[in-house]
Structure formats: C-alpha cells, structure tokens
Amino acid sequence: MEEQSKKTKFITKDIMKSAVIGSFQKLDPRYMIKNPVMFVVEIGFFITLVLTVFPTIFGDEANLRVYNGIVTVILFVTILFANFAESVAEGRGKAQAETLKKTKKDTTAVLLMKDGSEKKISASELKKGDIVIVRTNEMIPGDGEVIEGIASVDESAITGESAPVTREAGGDFSSVTGGTTVVSDWLKVRITSDPGHSFLDKMISLVEGASRKKTPNEIALNILLISLTVIFLIVVVTLYCFADYSGVEIPVATLIALLVCLIPTTIGGLLSAIGIAGMDRVTRYNVIALSGKAVEACGDVDTMILDKTGTITYGNRLAADFIPVEGIKKEDLIDYAVMTSLSDATPEGKSVVELGKTMGTRMEESVADQVEFVEFTAQSKMSGVNLEDGTQIRKGAFDAIKKYVAAKGGKIPSDLEKIVTDISSLGGTPLVVCVENVIYGVIYLKDTVKPGLVERFERLREIGIKTIMCTGDNPLTAATIAKEAGVDGFIAECKPEDKIDEIKKEQGEGKIVAMTGDGTNDAPALAQADVGLAMNSGTSAAKEAANMVDLDSDPTKILEVVEIGKQLLITRGSLTTFSIANDAAKYFAIIPAMFTLVIPQMQVLNIMKLSTPFSAILSALIFNAIIIPCLIPIAMKGVKYKPMRSEKMLLKNMGIYGLGGIIVPFIGIKLIDIVVTPLLALLGL
C-alpha cells in the first residue's frame, strides 16, 4: 500500500504520558468487564493478591507467599500492558483530535435577519436554517450550503491542503465546513447543523474514539475469545479435580497462572487497540470514517463502483495527438495549434501547448504578446488568434470551422471527415485547425485516464475485487475508456437510478459494494452501498448519506481505503492466529511442570527442558505478559499488506504467525527460564 505523505510518529512523549495514565485508569473493573478475557486476568490478580497476604486461605502452604506475590505482580503487569496497548491507540487518536480542536473556536457570525439587516452573534448561537454572510478573511461559522456568491475557501485547517478551493451556489461544490476561511470574495451560507453536531464535532468525537462501537467481526471474535476462556476455565477446574484425585497438590496461584496462559490474553489485550488503530490509519489518510463498521466493510469489498469523470479520468479533455490532413506537414499543424492556445487558459488549451512542447514546436511563448487572442464563445464554437498582418488562425468544432472556411472560399480536405469520425468513434473530441481558408488538420482531445490507475485496478483484481465504471458517455466511448483504464466492466449512459440498480444487483449476489460520489444525485447510491465515500467538496446530502468522507475530495482515495480495511482484517486475523498458537506452546511449559514431581513420566513432555516447576510456570507467565507490548507496533501499524488471493494470504499468514506463534514462545520461555532460575533459587523456590 502506498504510504501517505502525512505521517505521524508512532508514539510521542504526550501519547506515552497519557497511555501510562490510561493504563491505570482502565483498571476499574467496571471498564475491564467490557473485555472479558482481561477481566478474567484481573479476577486472577485479585485472588493471588489475597493469597499473597493470606497464603493459607485456600489451603496452600504458608511458604508460597513469595511465589504468590511474584504471580500477582506478573498478572498486574499483564493487565497494565493490555491497557497500555489500547491507551496508545486512543492517545494517537486524541492527538489528532487536539489538532482539530484548535480549529474549532468560537467565532463571530454575521447573521442575516429577515428584513435584510445584519447582526453579529456568536457562532455557538447559530441554529440550523440560519443564513449568514461570510466575507474575505472571515471564518465560516458552521457547516452549511452556499445559497449565493462564489469565493475561494482555505480548507487547510481541516484537510491540511494549502491550496484554496472554490465554493459556489448550486451544483456539487456548494457545501462548506465550519472552521474554514474565505480568502476572497463573499458567500451567503445557510447553516445545516445545530451547535455541537457539526461535521468538525463529529470528526473530533470519532477520532478521539468516544463514539467507536465494536464492529460485527470484532463482536464475533470477542464471542470466540469468551468461548475459549470458558472452555479453558472448565479445563483448569477439571484439572484441579484430576490432580486432587491423583494426590497432586497444585497451588491456586499455579492454576490461575495456567488459566491466564491458556486463555487468549494476547489477542484479548490487543483487540481494541487493533480496531482503534484501523480508524486512526484511515484518518491519517484524511478520510473520516463515520463508524468502525465502515472501515471493516472496506476489507470485505467485492465490487467497486466508480464514476468515470474525476475518478478514473481527469474530467477535462486533454490533447493527445495532432493529425494533419493530406498535404500538410505535421510540424506546421503543431505550430499553428500551439499559437492558437498560448493565451487559452482552459485545461484543453494548456494541454495543447504542453503536448506541442513535447513534440518539438518551434513556437515561443513570447508570440502570445504579439497576437490578438480571440476567445471561444458558444455562438462561434471556436477560438484563435489574429496576427498583426490580419491573418486569422482558428481552432474549433468541425462544423464551425467547415462553415468558416467555406465562407472564405476555401476547400474542405477529402480526408478531414474520416479523421474527425475516427476520433469521435474513439470517444475523443476533434478540434479542427485552419489558417484563413486552409485547413491544416485536427487536434485529438481525449478524456485522459489518470496515471497509475491501470496498475491499481490490477492490484484490486489480484485480491478479487471487481471494478465497474459508471459514465454518461455513449457505449463506444465508455468501452474505449474502460479498456484503457483496465476496469472489469462499465455502465454507459448511466443515470443515478442505474447506479442504485447495479449496487442492488451486486448485493443480491451476496457481494459487498463500495462507491464514491459527491453530488446530491449520488446520495441514494452512497446510502445503498456498503461503503459510501463522499467528497468533502460535495453536497451535504452526499456527506450525510455516506459512511465515509474524504477531506481531500480525491475520488480515487477509495482504493487506499479498501486496502486499509483489508489490512485491518489481516492484522486482526494474524494476531489472533499468533495468540492461539502461543497458547499451545505455553501448554508444554506449564502442564509438565505441574505434574512432574508426582508423575515422573510427564517429564517427557518437558521438551523445553525447563529447570523447575516454579521457574517453568513463572517463565510462561512472564512471557505471556511481555509479548503484549512487543506486539503493540504491529497492532498499531498493521500487518504489511500485499494484494493477493485470500487463499494464498491465509497460507502465508498461517505460516508466519501460526508457526511463529509456536516457535517464539519456546525460545522466549526458555530464555526467561535461564534468567529466573538462579533468582528463584535465591528466594528458595
């Protein structure tokens, strides 16, 4: 996955400080019960704490006080490490929220009264439906729709993008966000949110994690972890009964240590952190996910619906080639085409100049000062220049130039119509160039596919995601662009209702569908899709219908968001695999240690060759505690993701995290045993 330029440090001093404080605050049993696995560990901690003070309360020997105390400390540290993981994830979110809060300050709003007069009030007093006027260098006091005016707006406080954007009444660029600043002209804005419910308020709440709800997959995994915990609890109780029947005395602290080591404490301690970190990664891509479910759904996307204009293509038709008519040199056509475009500020005009330069035009930019530029009009359907000697050079639509040349007594080249027809059949736009009454050739304008999209669509195809392009173009043009972009399918002459029908059709086949949009007419489809990414520059209706908003208003961002969702699911699955594999390895450390003294044959299972029963149990328990902070960086940053088929990905992760989850504890527990054995000998254990 491509790295976003906007990066933050993994952990700062402020995040570390808040995480340490949060680790202790979360010890409250009322909070811990939300994480059943770690709640069981906390209950075990309280029991061993009591045993440390009153070692004989459950019939244990009095000389086990030190052993009970060591187990208590390790359990306490285990809980702290689990809380620390979640607190670090929350701390990163809160750091981003603080940045947003700096933007959210009480500004003065100019309220327009019904009689046309103006009244200055605090922005916090504005209500939904109020109309305000915002002038140059004034901050927009709240979310709203522009109902009059056009202005440049600095949205850097929200998006981080320094270049101002244009906002105007009507169309798909009428939505404005509170906290942004008008840098030129003025806007009349109708407020669309009440105080405390603005887009910025929602962003702060979501980034802080205050409104984060567990996702369906997270809930399902929690149920699995609870089930495993209950099963191992039954196993430990049964084991105690079996040991008692066999005449083996097992200290209660050892049973608790066994339970804590066998239940999936690793993933239990990291589960919330993984979910929060997923939201954090999306936010760092300047995308606000309105729920964790939306981020997770991205990881399950099967079909992606994309608008052509602005998403797959630039939207402006750009020069792709110069095609001369018979008898005309191509370099002459290029020179005259560039001359007509030197003062043409349109994207098409600029692209003609750029393409001409790459093809070696002899025309200097200084020529623009020596000619009279004639702008394009809807009536003439052409533009051009008039030279000082009266020579007129024009470029424009085929029909317009044909009439222009005929009026001057010129002839239409025999191959001109075929050139124009061929370009049109490819979905391009032909611009004919003439000098006085002589036609020189045609500029081929085409809707240009954004660079790199072909490779990105190929990456999506590798992971089984189908891409469908929606366009209002005719089928021939749509097919041309679809082939060039490398999408899997297209819908030509697409209307808003066609998008909804296509989404419903895919969902009817059990597919998870994602789409992007920015207009009011996209709102129904955004609401229908499982993942709807609205542009921040779009209308309020689009943003309210979607479950994600891209602050950069880059429709192709959906590609990154899908990969973040995939990474979230892979990270959770990989660490769950590692955690369960860990438990299997720890079984071989503790079980032989518990029974070796009474059943010598159990020594065969002591394949780690651990020194003593006490060192084996404590080594496994210490490893169980320290593995949680060791995995925090992976939980925060996510498992490295590469597009591949799910079957191949499963085998790869099973190999790395499944096999690794078995091997690492064997090495770790043995090394800890080597260190703790002499220390325990000094304590008489």
Q: Which two tokens stand for residue 244?
A: 């008692």
On whether 296 is known to bind a ligand per the annotation, the reply is no
Residues 631/273, Cβ–Cβ less than 8 Å = no
On whether 522 is known to bind a ligand per the annotation, the reply is yes
Task: Give the integer Cα–Cα distance in Å for 381 and 196.
Answer: 51
On whether 382 is known to bind a ligand per the annotation, the reply is yes
Q: What are phi and psi of 195, to 5 degrees?
A: -55, 135
Q: By C-alpha distance, which of 97, 96, 125, 99 is closest to 110?
A: 125
One-letter-per-residue 3-state SS of 96-124? HHHHHHHHCCCCEEEEECCCCCEEEEEHH
On whether 425 is known to bind a ligand per the annotation, the reply is no
CA dihedral 534, 537, 542, 543 (to 10 degrees): 70
Angle subtended at Cα 625 by Cα 592 and Cα 659, rounded to the nearest 5 degrees: 65
On whether 518 is known to bind a ligand per the annotation, the reply is yes
Catalytic residue among 130, 280, 307, 554: 307
On whether 376 is known to bind a ligand per the annotation, the reply is yes
On whether 377 is known to bind a ligand per the annotation, the reply is yes
Q: Which long-range contacts (CB under 8 A, 24 or more apart) does 632-635 make?
A: 632/84, 632/85, 632/88, 632/270, 632/273, 633/10, 634/571, 634/574, 634/575, 635/85, 635/89, 635/270, 635/273, 635/274, 635/277, 635/571, 635/575
Task: Give the integer Cα–Cα distance in Å for 475 and 77.
Answer: 65
Contacts of 431 (CB under 8 A, 6+ apart): 348, 395, 396, 397, 442, 443, 445
Residues 442/463, Cβ–Cβ less than 8 Å = no
On whether 242 is known to bind a ligand per the annotation, the reply is no
* DSSP 8-state symbol, 474: -
Return the beta strands (E) in 192-298 as ranges: 287-289
On whether 304 is known to bind a ligand per the annotation, the reply is no
Is 307 catalytic? The answer is yes
User: Residue with structure tokens 């140059």?
Assistant: 136
On whether 381 is known to bind a ligand per the annotation, the reply is yes
On whether 172 is known to bind a ligand per the annotation, the reply is no
Give the residue numbers of the binding site for Mg(2+).
518, 522
Binding residues for ATP: 344, 348, 376-383, 395
Instruction: Supply the residues annotated as catalytic.
Output: 307
Q: Residue positions in the annotated binding site?
A: 344, 348, 376-383, 395, 518, 522
